[in-house]
Each structure stands twice: as structure tokens, then as C-alpha cells.
Amino acid sequence: MLNKILLNTLLATCFFALVACSSSLPEVAKTPSYKLAPPTDSSLYQYLQGSLVQHPDKTGVLPLGSGVDAFLARLAIVHAARRSIDLQYYIYRADETGRMLVWYLIDAADRGVRIRLLLDDLTTKTLDEGLMILASHPNIEVRLFNPSYERTFRNLAMITGFSRLNHRMHNKSLTVDNLITIVGGRNIGNEYFSKNKEVDFGDFDLLTIGKAVDKVSDQFDLYWNAPVVHDIASLTEPVTASMVAKAQANMAQRQAQFEGDEFLERLEFSELLNKIRTTQMAWFWGEAEVIYDPPEKAIGAQQDQWLLSDLGRFLAKAKQQVLLISPYFVPTKSGSEALIAAVKNGVKVTVVTNSLAATDVLAVHAGYQRYRQLLLENGVTIYEMKVDVNHRPSAWKGSSRSSLHAKTFVLDAHAVFVGSFNFDPRSAWINTELGLIFYDEVFASLILSGIDNNLRENAYRVGVEEGELVWFDDSQSTTYYSEPDASFWRKLMADLIGLLPIESQL
């Protein structure tokens, strides 16, 4: 009996210690740093200078729709870096694409480039040692957003410190020499770059030059120096020289093993690489706005500066049409009312999201489906992306060969938003987000035409007949009267999850 009491006391002590560790982070001093001026003697500067001179005070963008092109673009600009590289990501996988990008980063650091790597801490559970080894390089700094101070019992710390640790940095950007940046929806991992055989996220980024780049750098500096961001060295144990040497040996071995990988061949023959080599980069030029949440959103502060306000004002300008592409679409009651009001004012509203079979997050679909029929009955057009029938997801987890992940909004064939923001409560109120609004009719029309061509083959048009939902496969002239390609158990799970009061977390 006494042993049981002692055990319970010990467990309680550990629990409350974890609560203390998770509820708040100690103030740890860190050295501030800021963007560096672009080098004027680099090959990248010379490559871009002609286009920049021809379009002063404008922003140039190049769409990155292909996963292979999107990864190649990242490698190319990192390889061209001469002064600075700033990376900011929600997820960074330690898989083939993640490692390959690290190899390029280390090469850049070895030639004297300053590298600042800012990651959200949620998915770094197994990365502490690797990040510390990276940070041991004199030209690489690593910081984590809103980290857990408890590094071993991370899951338990998440439970005990949920109110703080629930707020994550969802921003994605990669900026080189303050000359060129990539913003959009992709994290770093095989599934974002067409390297994963089980799941391929259909995503969208913008390779960006010109005026907007400096604004993205300002955003990065704001996060990098924010109190909610901590150096990796302040959170975990230091690494030894032997650990670094072992990591270097493992890296050399992995590089040798990767030399024959088929992905390298796909990179070599990518359309983007051919354009880079022949200098036929067809930039679209226009005005741009970089919009983002302040890092203080993690503590619920500065609400008047949240991205949601800027995005709301942007969408409210619509006169003819709004296209919303969001893999995780949970409009909420107020959002649904706003979309319906826009339709009643003569605006054509079209939503593209994942079908139940294609989604990788069942809970989000459960939150979306409660509003689906209401929106359809009030004139909103909805398309749901198909799943690859040869790679159907299980009832319990989302793992389809193809799943929509892009977050893109098009307004009146005139302006396009591309970024990390999903049309859901989590993006609106919990996570921090980043995006770019680009104003150019040619670019917006190109995006719209590309989507129109894609929807007929790869999406179901959802409708209502006699009060019931129906799914039209226009390419096959087929109609479905229940969620197409989704198993009974997947439908049941979505319905059950829909009964839970968790909408604010979706």
C-alpha cells in the first residue's frame, strides 16, 4: 500500500512538473539578427538584374505547380546563394528531399553563406540532435517557434501545456540573398515534391523576385527575433565532436547511396531546369502585397494585425467571382453566411477542396460536411478532388496517392492569393500564416484556366437533387449518390467525428 502511495505521489509530482515546464518558457537571451543587403557581384544578382531593372517597384512571380519543379527551384536558389539564406517552415521531414536540401545548405554554409533556419517545434520531436549538429556549424543558426521546454515527454507536455503549445507557426518561406524567395503551401518533405510513393500533395508555390522579397525578409526578421522563438541550443543538450563526426560520415554514406536515385533524373529533366539554363524565365509582373500574422498571435495578441483581416478585406472586393482552393475547408457559420451573402450580391463563389476519399485529415472533412449542403442550396459551387482509386486511404488515416494541399484564392480574374492559409478556424484564429497577394490579370486568368481544365478530369462537381447530395463526374458522365470512393468505415468515422465539439480546433 505504501509503495502504491509513493508511486502515485511520484507520478503526480512528475505530472505537475511537466505542467510547469509546458505552461511557459523561461526568458532566454538570444542575439538578434536581420536581413542582409543583396550582393551585387553574385551570379544570381546578375541573372536577375536585367528583369528587375525593366520592372522597378514591381514584383515578379513564377508559378511552381509541379512538385519536382518546386524542389528544383529550392535547390537552385540555395546553390546560387552568396550571402544569406532564410528558411521558415511548419514541417521539415528528415527524408530524402529534406536531407538533400540540408546537403545544399551545408555546402552554402561552407562557402560562407549565413543560414537562419526557423522551424515550428511541433514536428521536431526526433530532430533535436540533427538540428544541434547543424547549428554547430559557424554559419548556421537554428531556432524553434513556440517550443516545448520538455524535450523528452513531448506528447505529455502537449497535453499539459495545450493552451500554449496548440498555437503553431504555419508560415512557409525560403529566401536567398534578399533577392529571391519562395512562398506558398509546401512544407519540406517527400510528399510535397512528388517523391513519396504513398501520398502526393498537389500544392502550389510562387518563385518570387522584386519588391515583395524585402517584405518577406521583414516578416522573417520579425519572427526570428520574437520572444516566442528560441535557439535550439537553449532547449537541448550540446553535441560532441564525435557526434558531429559520426553525422558527417553518415551524410557521406547517404549521399553515395542517393547518387543513383531516380528522383535525381527527374530533377535533371524538369521543365524548370531547362528554363533556368536557357534563361527563358517568363516572369509575371505586377503589384503585390505580403500579408502575415504577427508572431504574437501565438499568445492571442495584436488581433488587429492578423492576416485574417487583410484577407477579409481582399475577398470583400470581389465584384464578379471568387475561387477558393483550400484542402482543409471549414467555413464556420459566419464564414458560410459571408459566402452566401456574396452570392446574393451577384458574385460567383466556387470552392475547391478535398473529397472524403482524398482528404488526409478526417476531422476537417467532418467539420466541412456540416456546411456543404447549406452552401450548395444557396448558390455556392463546390468541387471535391478525386482520390487515386489505386491508393485509397484507410478508414482511420489519410493516405491517398493524390491529395489537394494548395491554398490559393482568385478574385475577379484580377488578383491571386497564394500562401499557407487554409479556409478554416485553425488558420484564422490559432496558427500563424503567411501569403502573397499578386495583382495581374494575365496571371490570374492563367490560374483560372488551368484550374478549369483540371476540375473536369480530377474533381467531382457536388450538387443537390431532391434535397440530397449528389456528386457528378463530368468526365465520365457518372453520378454518385454517396461520397464517391470512400469506404463505409471512412464515412462512418467522419460522421462520428462530426458530432464532437471540436470545430474551433480544425
DSSP state of 412: T
SS3 458: helix
Catalytic residue among 95, 221, 231, 412: 412
Q: 351-369 burial, b for 16+ CB within 10 Å, e for fewer?
A: bbbbbbbbbbbbbbbbbbb
Instruction: Give catalytic status of residue 211 as yes or no.
Output: no
Long-range contacts of 314-319 (CB under 8 A, 24+ apart): 314/409, 314/411, 314/415, 314/417, 314/437, 315/409, 315/411, 317/411, 317/412, 318/342, 318/347, 318/411, 318/412, 319/346, 319/347, 319/412
Catalytic residue among 35, 167, 215, 405: 405
Catalytic residue among 167, 386, 407, 414: 407
Neighbouring C-beta atoms of residue 323, cutoff 10 Å = 24
Instruction: Give catalytic status of residue 172 as yes or no.
Output: yes
Cell triple for residue 435? 501569403
Query: Which residue spans within 251-370 are E strands per DSSP?
Result: 284-292, 321-325, 348-354
Catalytic residue among 172, 195, 215, 365: 172
Helix axis angle, 241-258 to 128-135, nearest 10°:
100
Catalytic residue among 120, 177, 360, 440: 177
Cell triple for residue 423? 479556409
Catalytic residue among 58, 170, 297, 386: 170
Instruction: Give catalytic status of residue 177 as yes or no.
Output: yes
Instruction: Give catalytic status of residue 491 as yes or no.
Output: no
The catalytic site residues sit at 170, 172, 177, 405, 407, 412
